[in-house]
Structure 1
């Protein structure tokens, strides 16, 4: 069940899954996040359908802006296509430019993790922002020794991050909990997240 739209102005954020939602909440911070409404799907291909549903809500008229966050994965063209189709449901008529909102009266845009041009996912950003450099080096050694045959770059980053979190002081640490201070997990204030933070703050 997606959160309802408020009767006052808000920024609408569409993301492809619960992990992306948790990351965006942590990175945006407590002063920005309450001004956003985040809807998420079960993968990037759900985003156009979420957009079609959102635009039919009468309270969507209160949206001051629309942003999309999704992973590049292994196919940048497909990621950009999904974002363009999603934003078109809200009236956008130009291709999105990574990390920028554009258009009037309702600015819209998309952020493609990790950086708009590199194959991968939000886990690539998280890997740069882990809290324990020594543990990070150990996981690098483990992955190098195991030589896992992950089928994609994104899956490789996800496997690395799962291994790191499993070796934190609390091995039960889940992704959405890893942004909590003192866990040794992921630092949401890390500069690696600055481009995403700027995008979220602009909504």
Structure 2
């Protein structure tokens, strides 16, 4: 994690978004859309455990006074209790005193909240949402068959979803696609307007 990889805060009102990595940043930008994204500043780390440290750094920035809200997006992985703990510790840097409620932004004068992918209660990750939003259902069915045949021994649900999505993108018309490029890839990519992303989109629009 490096402060130098993240943009400075403006001296006009903005929403601060903290995410665990570059993939989450790319997803949130695509799902939010340009009009919403231009009003946000996104900082990202190198994993969920970076978020409390990133928040502490942001809270010490003099321009944090211009942040009208702070939102956290992170994966539940296979330990929902730990994900909520990280979210709570992260938001505590900005004055939160109670555990977050998934998808809810609340508080005055600065709204605080967390979105825990995929849905605030199930083990998993943003890749679970992406899997529901792929554009090619025929290719999706082929990847389902491949995974069923290979029976990969992924240690967590999140890794299983990542493996599925990597296989899907590798078989798309452009197998060189990286995650953040898949949202603008057309027929073989991921549809950022898909209803699977609506809860996350609503969270980002309220920041």
TM-score when normalising by structure 2: 0.97
1:41 to 40, 45, 49: 45
2:163 to 155, 159, 164: 159
User: Which structure: greater helix fraction?
Assistant: 2
Deviation at 1:113, TM superposition (A): 0.1
- C-alpha distance in structure 1 between counterparts of 2:23 and 2:172, whole Å: 18
Q: Secondary structure at the match of 2:163?
A: helix
- Contact preservation (8 Å) 2:77, 2:123: yes
- C-alpha distance in structure 1 between counterparts of 2:140 and 2:6, whole Å: 35
Alignment correspondent of 1:93: 97
- C-alpha distance in structure 1 between counterparts of 2:168 and 2:201, whole Å: 23
Alignment correspondent of 2:26: 22
- C-alpha distance in structure 2 between counterparts of 1:147 and 1:127, whole Å: 18
Alignment correspondent of 2:140: 136
Deviation at 1:182, TM superposition (A): 1.8
Alignment correspondent of 1:119: 123
Gaps of 5+ in 1: none
Gaps of 5+ in 2: none
Deviation sequence 1:54-113 (CA, Å, 0-9, x none): 011101100000000000000000000000000000001111000000111000000000
| Residue correspondence of structure 1 range 31-70 to structure 2 within 5 A | 31-70=35-74
Alignment correspondent of 1:177: 181
Deviation sequence 1:6-56 (CA, Å, 0-9, x none): 010000000000000000000000110010000000000000000000011
Alignment correspondent of 2:195: 191
1:79 to 74, 79, 83: 83
How many residue pairs match? The answer is: 203
Instruction: Tell me which moved more, 84-93 or 174-183.
Output: 174-183
- Contact preservation (8 Å) 1:170, 1:183: no
Q: Which runs of 4+ in 1 moved over 4 A?
A: none
